[in-house]
Structure 1
Amino acid sequence: MARCVAHLDMDAFYASVELKRYPQLRGLPVIIGGSAEQQPELFNGEPRFAKLKGYAGRGVVTTATYEARAFGVSSGMGLMKAAQLAPEAILLPADFSAYRRYSNLFKTAVALVAPRIEDRGIDEIYIDLSDSAEDIVTLARRIKQAVRESTGLSCSIGVAPNKLLAKICSDLEKPDGLTLLSMADVPARIWPLPVRKINGIGPKANQKLAASGIFTIGDLAQVDIAFLQARFGRSNGCWLYEASRGIDERSVVTHAEPRSISRETTFERDLHARRDRPILSEIFTGLCAGVAEDLQRKGYAARTIGIKLRYEDFRTVTRDITLPVPTANAAVIRKAAQECLRRVSLEQKIRLLGVRASGLCSETLAQSADMSQQRELPLAVPDIR
């Protein structure tokens, strides 16, 4: 193949990390989600795990083991719905610091074998293998072995002529799969799949296609481009037409500057700014500290700090403030985010709170602009009024 792109996807990533911590749960239905309240309690030195049965709250499933997925549990599903499907499943809280650590481990290991990598998130990457002189199957197996040796976890890899097909086929033989696909394989292996398997076709587009009698990628490939453009617009219609035929000219982007860095959390229950002030203040501080940590780890400073609030009626507001000097300091970020909070109404209960840093630049450049005064600011917990 002139172009050769691999998509590497870690298998049930968050759940797999938790199973390394609690190997006694292997083979059991385990769901990751909820809050720190689901942390296992120690009894005579042994952890006691909470079950999903009787769960009350609006937490969502972050991920689940394959044993839990067999009951119909899926990522993004409400935990109360999951409790109906798999009441005996074990519920564990998400530990994102651990997941980021394992993410860095597997990406570093892959880069030593095949350095042309596009980072697509905490648990997936694209790898450009076009210039490799090594047999592709042998190279893909070396990559999988490097991931296993560095993390103890498995991954699935799809290798195809482009990113679109590579992402689809990395999901065909999970877990621990290795799938190779050529353009000649598209009719037999890709066309029978549901249209939602194309990355970029979401629930609304899937519903709209179904209303036109288009359920599989093969159905989509048989539709005239004019029909698609009439219903989805000129650009989207053209994209759907090409995607159904496995056409994708996007290159593997090995370096891209982020536009922003953010952290947000949805609460288990709606919180009130005054009555739940200690809880909100602690969460607010944690979000600001998390954004600062992400900035420092990636070597950036931010000129603009913003907040995001979603009220109990699902109305969402954002506010931001531009600083005179870029920062990656937690205290400065908290102070700026608090100024943003003063510009929004806090009379209604809040269901989501987020902090965002944008206007990014190299932290080295920011330091040259004299950040010494910022770094000496006190670390007092800000109030949410």
Structure 2
Amino acid sequence: MYQRKNYANSPLIFHIDVNSAFLSWTAVDLLNKNPKRIDLRTIPSAIGGDINSRHGIISARSIPAKKYGIQSGESVVNALKKCPSLVVVPTNFELYKHYSKLFIDILRSYTPYVQQVSIDEAYCDFTDLYDMYKDLVKDNLTYPLSLAHEIKDTIYSKLGFTVNVGISTNKLLAKMASDFTKPNRVHTLFEEEISQKMWPLPINELHGCGKSTSLKLTSLGIKTIGDAAHTDLEVLCSILGEKHGNYIYYSSNGINTSAVSSSKRIAKSYSSERTMPSNLTIDNYDSDIQNIIQHLSQNISRRMIKDNAYASTIGITLKTNHFKTHSTQTSLLISTNDSNVIYSTAIDLVNKELLGESGLFMKGDTIRLVGIFATNLDNGDYRQLSLFDLF
């Protein structure tokens, strides 16, 4: 697997796409209500329409359903002819909005620069954030793959569905990468990989190349993305017009200048948490906890500074090996967004919660998740001055 080397100073964009979103979210919801039922994702199933009235259109289907040739957009009637045992579940947009929000909330816990482009996909900008996530690097998984796998696995462990993550230096290539082999995969498509990974693909697989455009190009012998990349720009413009010709030429060469546009939202609180690769115990506590709390504090601080937000309450959340959640918080005399203040406050709370006389370690518990939250926000206009601020 390709490992990018110049991660610290290069633009870094992720495209994250939920695998079979409507079906996955429905399956997760049904399993949450009844863990003993069959997972829709493991049987021929589909979303859309009504199996009793046999009306409606298929909007999503499982991988087993795809083996019967069932396609999104075809009628329920035709789908049932192909697979009479097909399980069809009606659409539920309120459910989809619920899981979409949870999905986006997790992405925003990693970076404030998130652009949601549909209910089940988003771009994330991680440019210049290497220092926040360098501790995720492993011997067999270097940055940014380590971060992508962390996000992908966190979404699955917390929400129960899988995503694909595409990584590159711009949105176009990240989107192309996320569309490679599915499900539950991480792919890169950096500039030096374009000739190997993108150019051999059919021209209709170029993101933004519509059906009529691809048919026109194919009829003229431009069959692959690589063919388009090596066709003179003026020739493409004469075939497609200036606007479309320019798009096909530059996109097929991996050139895209569109920035991740994250809409500003008013936060009620900021939080960041980390699931341990192995449970935190009293034996490995001292060596691990400081790095974890520092990382989480920096994550929260960076997002608060960007939003010009200050918190007067800092809290911590701990989840034990028994899946019980323990939270505690404290109020500050002066609201803050300083990572050092957040860190020192959080580490004191964690020490008391774990190492106190009735602490969790004293009870024999181990810790599988550590989180920090900052709340009771203001914009800094009414912050109380300390004596030292006057000098």
Same fold by TM-score greater than 0.5:
yes
- For the residues of structure 2 that align with 1:82 and 1:204, how far apart are their CA atoms? 27
8 Å Cα contact 1:109-1:150 kept in structure 2: no
Query: CA shift at 1:73, angstroms?
Result: 2.5
The answer to whether 1:95 aligns with 2:110 is no
Deviation track 1:49-72 (CA, whole Å, cap 9, x = no partner) reads: x6xxxx854x22211111112233
- For the residues of structure 2 that align with 1:87 and 1:213, how far apart are their CA atoms? 42
Query: CA shift at 1:111, angstroms?
Result: 0.8
For 2:73, what is the secondary structure of its paired residue?
coil
Structural RMSD (CA): 2.0
1:254 corresponds in structure 2 to 262
The answer to whether 1:235 aligns with 2:243 is yes
2:45 corresponds in structure 1 to 30
Query: CA shift at 1:241, angstroms?
Result: 0.4
Matches within 5 A, 1:177-188: 177-188=185-196
Deviation track 1:113-156 (CA, whole Å, cap 9, x = no partner) reads: 22210011110000001111133122112211231233111111
Query: Unaligned 5+ residue runs, structure 1?
Result: 39-49, 258-385
Matches within 5 A, 1:76-115: 76-115=73-112
- For the residues of structure 2 that align with 1:165 and 1:182, how far apart are their CA atoms? 7
1:61 corresponds in structure 2 to 58
1:74 corresponds in structure 2 to 71
8 Å Cα contact 1:33-1:92 kept in structure 2: yes
8 Å Cα contact 2:23-2:41 kept in structure 1: no
| Aligned residue-pair number | 239
Bigger mean CA offset, 183-192 vs 202-211: 202-211
Q: 1:6 aligns with which of 8, 14, 21?
A: 14
Query: CA shift at 1:251, angstroms?
Result: 0.6
8 Å Cα contact 1:8-1:125 kept in structure 2: yes
For 1:101, what is the secondary structure of its paired residue?
helix
Q: 2:179 aligns with which of 145, 157, 171?
A: 171
For 2:118, what is the secondary structure of its paired residue?
coil
> What is the identity percentage for the equivalent residue pairs of Structure 1 and Structure 2?
30
- For the residues of structure 2 that align with 1:218 and 1:89, how far apart are their CA atoms? 40
Q: 1:202 aligns with which of 199, 206, 210?
A: 210
- One-letter code aligned to 1:152: G
- One-letter code aligned to 1:96: F
- For the residues of structure 2 that align with 1:117 and 1:179, how far apart are their CA atoms? 19
1:220 corresponds in structure 2 to 228
Query: CA shift at 1:84, angstroms?
Result: 4.1
Q: TM-score, normalised by structure 2?
A: 0.58
Query: CA shift at 1:107, angstroms?
Result: 0.7
- One-letter code aligned to 1:123: D
Deviation track 1:261-318 (CA, whole Å, cap 9, x = no partner) reads: xxxxxxxxxxxxxxxxxxxxxxxxxxxxxxxxxxxxxxxxxxxxxxxxxxxxxxxxxx
Q: TM-score, normalised by structure 1?
A: 0.58
The answer to whether 1:150 aligns with 2:150 is no
